[in-house]
Amino acid sequence: MKKEILIIVNPNAGRGKVNKYIPQICDNLEKKGYELEVIYTSDKENGEKIIESYIRYIDAVIVCGGDGTISQVINGVIKSHKKIDITFIPFGTTNDYAKTVKIPRKKYNLSRNLSKYKKVGIDIGTFNKDKYFYYVAAFGVCTNIAYTTSQINKNKIGKFAYYKRALKQLKNLRTYKTTIVTDDEIIKDEFIYGGVTNSISIGGFKWFRKSDVKIDDGLFEVILIKKPKNKFGLLKIFKSILLKKYDQKNIFYLRTKHLQIDFEENVDWTLDGEFGGSASQVLIENNKNRLQMLVPNKN
């Protein structure tokens, strides 16, 4: 029996150049004997809605897009309660998760070598019980950049459009009074940034060493950053991120399975680079090995 594969394409990905690669990708897969259906996302039909419509007919889904499109598809698959194989070709601006699971950025690699990919279990985060994220949930400075930067600017200058907006936000840092309850401790403080992640890369920057992050260990890596007193303090924070050493007073680094975060006001959250809603209380839980993803076999 031929394997039925749904290819979900974000037509804006890769600065809009993704479309020219699709015919060759399809040709490569069809030559391997796969049955294909190609559907493009739109303002009315995102990845989650497409999965809703097609999941009962398919065995696997390949996402041609960025981290946000992958997140939409993952939400659709989890809510369907059906087990199918998920993989992707990274066409996004930053492709954070591709760096973690070592998906090659070569556009035709997957379509030529899909039979050599292996299944791995990946942890999935639950956000306030009804939303899911696979690599990051975050609040605070620069976390809204991925979904507030215009597509026109992203098409023109790629990830530099993000850096441009980030510099503007760093000039006016605001703090959030926060109480955080984890598996092991209670933290009360004011932070300019909080990130709960299962990826070595966030926003195009590598925050962790490869050995620090395991996508199937049931634990999140959590970074909380306090507001520095001056520009020198801000430079020390950047240095910590570059060196991946979080042992200074302005940064909390911990690992946990679940956490509750309380604010004094509604705070906007980013889930996998998309707007995740606004809330004054957030419950996050790690669902160990919740999904199966196809990734390149090292052997």
* CATH, residue 171: 2.60.200.40
**What residue numbers bound the domain in which 282 lies?**
132-288
3-state DSSP: the chain helix, strand, coil percent, rounded to 5? Answer: 30, 40, 30
Question: In this structure, what CATH number is given to the domain that contains residue 109?
Answer: 3.40.50.10330
Q: Cβ–Cβ contacts within 10 Å for residue 146, how many?
A: 27
Q: Cβ–Cβ contacts within 10 Å for residue 158, how many?
A: 15
Residues 117 and 146 in one domain: no
Residues 113 and 71 in one domain: yes
pLDDT in tens, the chain (299 residues): 468 999 999 999 888 889 999 999 999 999 999 999 999 999 899 999 999 999 999 999 999 999 999 999 999 999 998 989 999 999 987 888 999 999 988 889 999 999 999 999 999 999 999 999 999 999 998 777 766 666 666 666 566 566 666 666 666 778 999 999 998 899 999 999 999 999 999 888 888 998 899 999 999 999 999 988 888 888 888 888 888 888 888 999 999 999 999 999 999 999 998 899 999 999 999 999 999 999 998 75
Residues 180, 261: Cα–Cα separation, whole Å: 5
Residues 140 and 265 in one domain: yes
Distances (CA, A) of 259 to 165, 179, 218, 282, 288: 30, 10, 13, 8, 15
What total number of domains does the chain contain?
Answer: 2
Residues 283 and 136 in one domain: yes
Residues 198, 212: Cα–Cα separation, whole Å: 10
Residues 166, 262: Cα–Cα separation, whole Å: 25
Residues 139 and 267 in one domain: yes
Residues 140 and 281 in one domain: yes
- Within a 13 Å sphere around the CA of 251, how many CA atoms are in the beta-carbon half? 21
Residues 10 and 103 in one domain: yes
Residues 154 and 278 in one domain: yes
